[in-house]
Amino acid sequence: MTRRWLAALVAVAALAGAAHLARPLGAQWRMRFEPNVPYDGRFTFVRLKYTVHRRSGWEFDYPAMERNLMKITDELTTLHPHVAGSNIHTLDDPELLKFPVAYMSEPGGWIPSDSEATGLRNYLAKGGFLIVDDFMRREWDVFERAMRKVIPDARFVRLDPSHPIYDSFFHIESLKMGHPQERDLTAEFYGIYEDNDPSKRLMVVIDYNTDIGDFMEWSGQGWFPVDVSNDAYKIAIDYIVYGMTR
């Protein structure tokens, strides 16, 4: 396992470097979105696109983060996901219902329309699993209002390493993690259960005051400690395996 893990990190370093060659920085930078992968039953990373009212954020870390994560997932699990491609779907896209796990970035600017709220509510009710990542501080208030439009009586339950989600593939002993840019923040993890019943399925997992997507996006650049980047991958893979098996 150790050799495979190290080999996967080497592969991620090469992949991340290639991904960022196609992603220039600067004021004139414009995102280029690749076509969605045609549905064939294999696991496909799905990123949720929401209506932008004030500032964007749903596309942050695209596409390097998902390519890196899918490479690691392919190396370490038997899931055999699509590695070279991923999907972007709106919350009310009927095609979203074909995919069991979805990822939302930067919900601190998310203000869902009625159609988006209904679409996500239906997705979760039909068994979909949502990963929410990359927001902090007072952005929680915006996210909570948005999520209550989706699930009006939602209860946000603090999660700790004893939850089964953190033992679904990797055994996570500690959730002590900071934020890649905001060094004074300490990560918090929350969940929303089906019918607000902890004995039932966890429908939503929430990474608050951290950004595991950023750790994974830049894992090949040496910006962050290797152990922290590894922890981000372990948590993300646990989320995927949990979402696929519950």
Please state the separation of Cα 21 from the chain's center in Å: 23
Q: Which residues contact 198 (CB under 8 A, 6 or more apart)?
A: 157
- Respond yes or no on whether the N-terminal peptide bond of residue 100 is cis (omega within 30° of 0): no
pLDDT at 30: 62
CA distance 85 to 34: 8
Task: Return the CATH number at 64.
Answer: 3.40.50.12140
pLDDT at 162: 97
- Model confidence band, residue 54 (pLDDT cutoffs 50, 70, 90): confident
- Tokens 């996901």: give the residue: 81
Structure-model confidence comparison of residues 52 and 15, the more confident one: 52
Q: List, for residues 130-187, the tens digit of each pLDDT value.
A: 999 999 999 999 999 999 999 999 999 999 999 999 999 999 999 999 999 998 999 9
Structure-model confidence comparison of residues 55 and 123, the more confident one: 123
CA distance 110 to 115: 14
Q: At 78, list the tokens.
A: 């038997």
Does the pLDDT at position 15 exceed 50? no
- Model confidence band, residue 207 (pLDDT cutoffs 50, 70, 90): very high
CA distance 188 to 210: 8
pLDDT at 14: 45
Q: Which residues contact 222 (CB under 8 A, 6 or more apart)?
A: none
Q: List, for residues 57-78, the tens digit of each pLDDT value.
A: 999 999 999 999 999 999 999 9
pLDDT at 13: 43
- Tokens 């500690």: give the residue: 174
228 is in which domain, residue-wise?
Answer: 2-245
pLDDT at 74: 98
Of all residues in the chain, the percent with pLDDT exceeding 90 is: 81
* Amino acid present at 23: R
Does the pLDDT at position 21 exceed 60? no
Does the pLDDT at position 4 exceed 60? no
CA distance 133 to 88: 16
Number of domains in the chain: 1
Strand duo 129-133 + 202-208: pairing: parallel
Q: List, for residues 76-121, the tens digit of each pLDDT value.
A: 999 999 999 999 999 999 999 999 999 999 999 999 999 999 999 9
Nearest one of 61, 66, 69, 62 to 8, comparing CA atoms: 69
pLDDT at 164: 97
